[in-house]
Amino acid sequence: MDEFMAAAIAQAKQGLREGGIPIGSVLVKEGQIIGQGYNKRVQDNDPVTHAEIDCLRHAGRIGNYNDTILYSTLMPCYLCAGAVVQFGIKKVIAGESQTFAGAREFMESHGVEVVDLNLEECQQMMSDFIQQHPKLWNEDIGV
């Protein structure tokens, strides 16, 4: 596993330690992490603070996002995929999509390269969380 996905997983674990949903994300430019974040919907009582959104907020205004790569422990949902498309991020690397399929086809239809690493650690983290907190998970994905 590369250092960037490891950093995203560390973000997810931080969110879990805080009582939130274990999804983490990092934004990489020129081989450096320029933003990182995790799902803070529970912690901030904010329905749109998904990991990718938190990550982009921490990256701040960088002008052009074309040469960035977004890493996320889970395949981005439509909210986060919309941000990817809106800002022109050309590549997304997801830890897994088994527990949640996300919006892969949407991103790809807008020219985004999507890589699904199908990592057991990411799958297990989400599976455990979903099993222990199904109501909270369903709220997160809008069910």
Length of the chain: 143
Do residues 80 and 54 lie in contact, with contact meaning Cβ atoms separated by under 8 Å? no
Distance CA 33, CA 90 (A): 16
**Amino acid in position 83:** A
Task: Concatenate the DSSP letters of all residues of 79-98 into one string.
Answer: HHHHHHHHHT--EEEES--S
Q: Are strands 113-116 and 24-29 parallel, antiparallel or unpaired?
A: unpaired
Distance CA 138, CA 81 (A): 19
The SS3 assignment for 122 reads helix
Q: CA torsion sign, 53 to 5 to 123 to 125?
A: negative
Q: Which of 3, 18, 30, 52 is catalytic?
A: 52
Is 30 marked active-site? no
Which residues are part of the catalytic machinery?
52
